[in-house]
Amino acid sequence: MKAIVLVAAAALIAAPAAAETVLITAERMVDVLTGRTVEKPAILVEDGRIRQIGTQGTLTITDGKRIDLPGLTLVPGFIDMHVHLTGDPRISPMDSLLKSDSYWPVLGAVQARKMLDTGFTTVRNVGSGNFDDIAIKQAIDDGWVTGPRIVPAGYALGATGGHCDETFFPPSFERTSRGVADGVDALRAKVREIRKYGAEVIKVCATGGVFSRNTEPGQQQLREEELKAIADEAHMWGVKVAAHAHGTSGIKAAIRAGIDTIEHASLIDDEGIKLAKERGAFLSMDIYNTDYTQSEGKKNGVLEDNLRKDREVADVQREGFRRANAAGVRMVFGSDAGVMPHDMAVNQFAVMTRFGMTPLQALRAATSTAAEALGREKDVGAIAVGRFADMVAVSGDPLASVDPLLGAKAVVKGGVLVTDRR
């Protein structure tokens, strides 16, 4: 038995270790950095990264692999800045209590693959119990399972009784999330603890939320000095911070605290939009999932109080998105997949253009702008020399309409054709 395991491991390790050259060709390619379309591109990949970009005929290889995608348009692999891989809305809160603790990372690996198949070659997982997202990332990076690049947060930080605490249990259960801390010093220590075990971004809940109990989206739950302590500590360690913030005051406190990305931003006002622009904060607004929650939530066992909160922030968030985008705030694609099935996240592109974005703006939100928000411009977010060869092949013109982005025909991650739906 042991020998078989070792043989399997050796095969896995040998595959990516060999210096490998791949030539990728397609009908055209969108360069999101310039906004231009390149006809008949040929992309030379070495060891997973783009070495050279030319055109067919001028750039070719004598040996190595080829991935030819005739008739299709290449766009950079998508980045979803707000996902929860270790969940599924179709598992009711009651049913989730019947699962063993290690059920969730197994489920998460399946969800990760679904996101990859729809074009997401990088996802930022903003919160999971038991450091599950870090384990999934490790299993993908080691080649045991196929999935997107993951930027994991581990446990989300938050106040006692706040959105990121355990809020559905009676006192005798004594349930507190490991991410909970109160006060400046305790939160600083919590940043260090979560980072120690592999978090590559710190997620913090600055306000109440939709799917917790006894919290309201508009309610601020950490003081600005606490948010600032988290941001300063994380930045000292070279880690960025994502703040869940629906409420107007919590959004502004998080931006003033120096937090990098504001999640949801549902009740943002004009002052918040101005602050986000001045301070360079990115907004990650999940403006699609309410459609799913309102149509399927009741059937899935979501409580009426949670459905009510979702309704209350839905339309105002979409109008806030329109105003923030028009004001020139840097917008990134964040779906909150997990609240809806993961293979539906891609549908958010259509809502983003319905609420004011051009197709190029929506595509940039999920590629080059998201890469900036991650601080990973050298790795992901564009089909450009030096970056990973992560790309999605679609039919039609994604700069005329985002519809082609909703139906990826093929997905390439690190120069490997991981999904082929032609």
Provide the binding-site residues for Zn ion, judged by CB under 5 A: 336
Nearest to 147 by CA among 405, 388, 419, 391: 419
Name the strand (E) or helix (H) holding 268.
none
What are residue 152's DSSP bridge partners? 125
> Tokens 């231009």 map to which residue?
36
Q: How far is the CB of 244 from Zn ion (least distance, A)?
A: 6
Q: How far is the CB of 263 from Zn ion (least distance, A)?
A: 6
Nearer to Zn ion (CB atom), residue 96 or residue 146: 96
Q: How far is the CB of 191 from Zn ion (least distance, A)?
A: 19
Distances (CA, A) of 369 to 310, 387, 401: 27, 15, 19
Dihedrals φ, ψ of 145, to 5°?
Answer: -130, 160
Which amino acid type is present at position 410?
A
Q: How far is the CB of 4 from Zn ion (least distance, A)?
A: 40
Collapsed DSSP state (helix, strand, coil) of residue 193: helix
Contact 255, 330 (CB under 8 A): no
Nearer to Zn ion (CB atom), residue 42 or residue 285: 285
> Tokens 């446990």 map to which residue?
155
* Region of 127 on the Ramachandran plot (φ > 0 left; ψ -120 to 50 alpha; else beta): left
| CA 170 remoteness from chain centre | 32
Q: How far is the CB of 135 from Zn ion (least distance, A)?
A: 19
Concatenated DSSP letters of 65-85: EEEEEEEEEEEEPEEEEEE-T
Nearer to Zn ion (CB atom), residue 211 or residue 349: 211
Q: How far is the CB of 126 from Zn ion (least distance, A)?
A: 6
Q: How far is the CB of 391 from Zn ion (least distance, A)?
A: 27
Q: How far is the CB of 27 from Zn ion (least distance, A)?
A: 37
| CA 254 remoteness from chain centre | 19
Nearer to Zn ion (CB atom), residue 134 or residue 337: 337
Contact 131, 197 (CB under 8 A): yes
Nearer to Zn ion (CB atom), residue 310 or residue 336: 336
Residue nearest to Zn ion (CB): 336
Nearest to 15 by CA among 303, 414, 422: 414
Distances (CA, A) of 124 to 76, 81, 201, 233: 16, 5, 8, 20
Distance, CA of 231 to CA of 239 (rounded, Å)? 9
Nearer to Zn ion (CB atom), residue 219 or residue 358: 219
Nearer to Zn ion (CB atom), residue 336 or residue 390: 336
Nearer to Zn ion (CB atom), residue 264 or residue 387: 264
Nearer to Zn ion (CB atom), residue 289 or residue 419: 289
Q: Is the dihedral of CA 160, 164, 217, 295 positive or negative?
A: negative
Nearer to Zn ion (CB atom), residue 165 or residue 336: 336
Q: How far is the CB of 386 from Zn ion (least distance, A)?
A: 31
Which structure tokens are listed for 218? 């508009």
Q: How far is the CB of 108 from Zn ion (least distance, A)?
A: 14
Nearest to 272 by CA among 317, 227, 229, 225: 317
Nearest to 31 by CA among 416, 387, 421, 417: 387
